[in-house]
Structure 1
Amino acid sequence: MTTSVRGGQLARLLGQWHSLPGRHRSPDYAALAGAVRGLLTDGRLPLGVRLPAERELAEALAVSRTTVTAAYRSLRETGHLTSRRGAGSWTTLPNGHRVASSGLWTPDDDLDMIDMGVAASAAPVELVPAARAAADELPRFLGTAGYHPTGLMELRDAVAAAYTARGVPTSAEQILITSGTQQALDLVLRLSVPAGASVLVESPTYPNALAALAARRARISTHGLDAATGWDGELLLAAMRQTRPRLAYVIPEFQNPTGHLMPAALRERLVAAAHATGTELVADESFVDLPLNGEAMPPPVAVFDRHSRVVTIGGMSKAYWGGLRIGWVRASAPLVQRLAALRVGVDMASPVLEQLVAVHLLQDAPSIVAVRRAQLAARRDTLIEALREHLPEWRFFVPSGGVTLWAELDGPISSALARAAEDVGVRLAPGPRFGLDGTLERFVRLPFSLPPDDLIEAIRRIASVRHDLDRAARPAWRTPAVIT
């Protein structure tokens, strides 16, 4: 079934499209078409969405219908829109583009782009030896069907042991191995969030979590994080008590995208509030292995759980490699079995060979993670130095871990900046990608997972187009690349 977006909804997503820096040099219809393409670029409008009728959108934007008609025609010419008389117009994949990670679009010829839309690192050198060792072990599994819906026992034991070492006694029966952290979240939402259920999330938050919630047709309410200080504990707990959500999703360790670390006292109070309101609390620990300043980490959220309200998800994408699609859920044993039964209808099980690779990598976790932390700490400092040199007017909180920096810009120009940066070979993740209804235009996420030379060059290019937004004529509208 095709999803539709109403005129008012699209108007909110478009935000101040008519007053972006440099926009006055473009005709209204071209600016509108470019703004819609920008929404497609960063995934706020997915494939197959029916756009509002021309008259409806014109009324919502307070522009002439002729402007919207011309904008739709421009979108059809670039392949971003398909129209059929009597059926409407819906978003499509342009020729010469492919679906990239996160389900977004990217041109086939953009391999030389400095991609700052992805917050993940290259594989560690230990991956190839681990893969060889795993291949040597594979024969002992070949006499079976190879389906292990809850995961290989060796890997479940290893993940459970890691939780126990962090102060959360865990058995293998409490672990479900998944195909990445994203699938872990998706399975939890499939089980726990019926259509129309209330869900509380942070703002900003992980874009793919918002996409997964939208797919469940959840009613999303948000708690806003301060860019400089992070969570306001009183406001967060009040939001939970007032909305009494079915589920709350938080990223307590080096929150994506802000980089903040939730203090222990708030973790304890959050779990107590979840119990009082009957809320299932999902803690995403994707970045838990990446403290960069050597400080002691707060206890896991699950330490404070006495009533099976906390479900923890995690994986190997950030500390190890995103191409190794291994994630997990830690929950009560009965909930793990229910998730496994649901998972059989999705993809049966995770690949045996990849799980064996994960076992070997986890055996070498102390050395692998130590090298990764040192690498990221140096790259974070390189990024900060480049920002202070080339974009001193930008403000940001220096994260003590993780892989992302959340920069506050000197104006509400995030989407315009992202489109301009593509002209000079840099892909950015604009702020609105991490929120709802076109907000967060004053922010951009900057990961520091790329090599130092790439980070320096990317910031230099971004600075050049940032200054051009105010004083130079904008380039002709073109089919944009897509971030991931």
Structure 2
Amino acid sequence: MRGPTMYGVVQLRRIGSEVGANVEQASASRVARLLGAWQADEASSATALRTALADLIEGAHLPSGQMMPTQRALAEALGIARGTVSRAYAGLVASGHLSARQGAGTFVRFGRRGTGDGHGRLASFDEGPATVAIDLSSGALPGGEVVARSMPEIGRLLHEHHLAGDGYHPAGLPELRAAIAATISQSGLPTHSDEVLITAGSQQAVKLIAAAFAGPGSLVVVEDPTYRGALEAFSGGGARLRGVPMSPTGIDPDQLAGAARNADLVYLQAALHNPTGVHTSGRRRSEIAAAMHDQRAMVVDDQSSADLSWTRSGRLPGLERDVDSERLLLVGTLSKLFWGGIRVGWIRGPKATIARLTDMRRGLDLSGSVLDQLAAVLVLPHAEAQQRARREWLASQFSAATTVIGSALPSWRWWLPAGGSGFWVDTGTDAVALAQRALARGVRMTAGPAFSPHEAHGTFLRLPVWHPDGQFAEAMEIVADLIRR
């Protein structure tokens, strides 16, 4: 079904439908991800699977006309018997949700045209079903104490400076824009307040960039693997995605140059890469800048994890000193350093581009939360101390996590991260099926295809370095038991 091109792009198989349209076949890993915790104790496996698939079809997550995965492929991805999938498909054919065509495959028949809101890559940020006892699907970190200490001061700032106004600041609070501009200037890229747009977290920042530069049919080049939220933002807007393979030393500049020809946008994470934890060296960053010099594409450097270095003080550098600032958009956030509950991110770019993105933002939510932005103003002066605290804690957590894996699952291998809240683990087996089997035992994990524009990296898991109360060790023992069976 799939084969690599020179850029690591995996081609989707397209099937001619009854009316001659080209139809993409849904990958088994994507369907498994969308299904989530589909099994139910009170129903047979086939009945539960049929019900869950019907919900996806009726919600247009599997749109009308799409070809379903083969029974064997879906069974392998879910870690169940092929007969279970066969019975579920048969029930969906009988109910009119699917149609089976001799020699052609099984297609979605009932449902709306188009696609749902996404590919299920961000499902780990849901609360999760009650059956999930241990959630290892996200690298989100607990909040720092400095956040709680800043809360009482917010009331005073509101009363003295903000309550008399209407509270609408589409580009962000002036004092916060100035503070972020100063931080970026210190990194080596002179920045003025009007070159900064404050957003409700980095995900909104990427979503705005996608809306502005990656509309239907446009070409976006990304690292493979990459941040799954970016994949949702770009694919949700109808863009075509082209992946360039990541390695433990970063993306290859020559491959990037070839892949970026005729691209509209190039999305990178040079400071600290999610999900692998790779930091791109200064020499490689210069080579990337040279590779992009004659390209027409806008370059996005998502620096959301740059504060989480394990080996050096301060923020890790990205492309801010290398790529022409007129063609560069920097994305940042306070969520990883301080707390995900502070929904503050930003975009740094050319003044005209920031004005355009601000206009688009007005149509999205008018303005960000003044309370969150005041919290950001109050915690920013503590960034250096918080970076130091995160650095020491995360490095020790990573050491403990790898010790657990080395004992419970000695055949597993991982990329050595320079920082971040998670690490990229090669299980040497079908990680999609393993994650599904683990979910049935109460452990939720995210498999590699969620981070790939082409559903690649099927043997990988992205695991967090931290989880409370020793649950990481318990989860790895459960996974080890599943593998032994």
Deviations 1:281-337 (A, max 9, x none): 000001100110237876431212335111000101111111111000011112111
Say if 1:34 and 1:105 are closer, same or farther in 2 by CA, change over 3 A: farther
Q: Deviations over 1:415-437 (max 9, x none)?
A: 11111112332110011111134
Q: Is the 8 A contact 2:221 2:243 kept in 1?
A: yes
- Letter in structure 2 aligned against 1:344: R
Task: Label 1:316 to 1:15 Cα distance change in 2 as closer, same or farther (>3 A).
Answer: closer
Q: Retained in 2: the 8 A contact 1:6–1:52?
A: no
Aligned length: 433
Q: How does 1:325-340 map to 2 (within 5 A)?
A: 325-340=343-358
Q: In the TM superposition, what whole-angstrom CA distance separates every residue of 1:380-407 from its partner, at most 9, and x where no partner exists?
A: 1111111111111011112121111101
Alignment of 1:46-195 (within 5 A): 47-51=59-63, 70-72=87-89, 83=97, 88-90=109-111, 102=122, 109-110=129-130, 113-139=133-159, 140-195=161-216
User: Does residue 375 of structure 2 align to residue 360 of structure 1?
Assistant: no
Tell me which residue corresponds to 1:9.
Answer: 24
Q: Quick check: 1:166–1:300 contact (8 Å CA) kept in 2?
A: no
Q: How far apart in 2 are the matches of 1:295 and 1:131?
A: 27
Q: TM-score, normalization: structure 2?
A: 0.79
Q: 1:317 aligns with which of 311, 331, 335?
A: 335
Question: Which residue of structure 2 lines up, in the alignment, with residue 453 of structure 1?
Answer: 470
Contact 2:309/2:316 (<8 A) preserved: no
* CA shift digits 1:324-373 (9 cap, x unpaired): 11000011112111111111000011100110001111011122221122
Q: CA deviation at 1:449?
A: 3.0
The secondary structure found in structure 2 opposite 1:400 is coil
Aligned Cα root-mean-square deviation (Å)? 3.8
Q: Are 2:321 and 1:303 equivalent residues in the alignment?
A: yes
Distance 2:375 2:124 in 1: 28
Contact 1:379 1:448 in 2 (8 A): yes
Q: Which runs of 5+ in 2 are unaligned?
A: 1-12, 16-22, 33-43, 76-82, 100-106, 113-119
Contact 2:267/2:300 (<8 A) preserved: yes
Displacement of 1:194: 2.5
Consecutive unaligned residues in structure 1, runs of 5 or more: 18-28, 92-99, 469-484
Supply the distance in 2 between the matched residues of 1:324 and 1:201 (Cα, whole angstroms).
27
| Cα distance in 1, alignment partners of residues 167 and 372 from structure 2 | 12
TM-score, normalised by the number of residues in structure 1: 0.79
CA offsets, 1:261-294, max 9 Å, x none? 1111222232333331111000000110011023
- Counterparts of 1:262 and 1:416, CA distance in 2: 32
**1:386 pairs with 390, 397, 404, which one?**
404
Bigger shift: residues 176-185 or 211-220:
211-220
Is 1:399 matched up with 2:411?
no
SS of alignment partner, residue 245 of structure 1: coil
Quickly say closer, same or farther: Cα 1:16–1:349, change in 2 above 3 A. closer
- Mapped to 2, the partners of 1:174 and 1:55 lie a distance apart of 45
- What do the CA deviations read for 1:24-46 (whole angstroms, capped 9, x no partner)? xxxxx9789869969x99xxx99
Q: Which amino acid aligns with 2:337?
A: A
Q: 3-state DSSP class of the match of 2:122?
A: helix
What are the residue-to-residue correspondences of 1:279-294 with 2, within 5 Å?
279-294=297-312
Structure 1 counterpart of 2:364: 346
Query: Counterparts of 2:68 and 2:321 in 1: how far apart (Å)?
Result: 51
Amino acid in the other structure paired with 1:164: S
User: Take 1:54 and 1:46, find their aligned partners in 2: how far apart are those partners?
Assistant: 13
Counting aligned pairs with the same residue, the percent is 29
Q: Find the residue that maps to 1:344 and give its secondary structure.
A: helix
- Taking a change above 3 Å as real, the CA distance of residues 346 and 46 of structure 1, as seen in their structure-2 partners, is farther
Contact 2:218 2:239 (8 Å CA) reproduced: yes
| Structure 1 residues 61 and 364: alpha-carbon distance in aligned structure 2, compared to 1, 3 A threshold | closer
Cα separation, 1, equivalents of 2:170 and 2:178: 15
2:58–2:110 CA contact under 8 A, matched in 1: no
CA pair 338-14 structure 1, distance change in 2 beyond 3 A: closer
Residues 382 and 456, structure 1, Cα contact 8 Å, conserved in 2: no
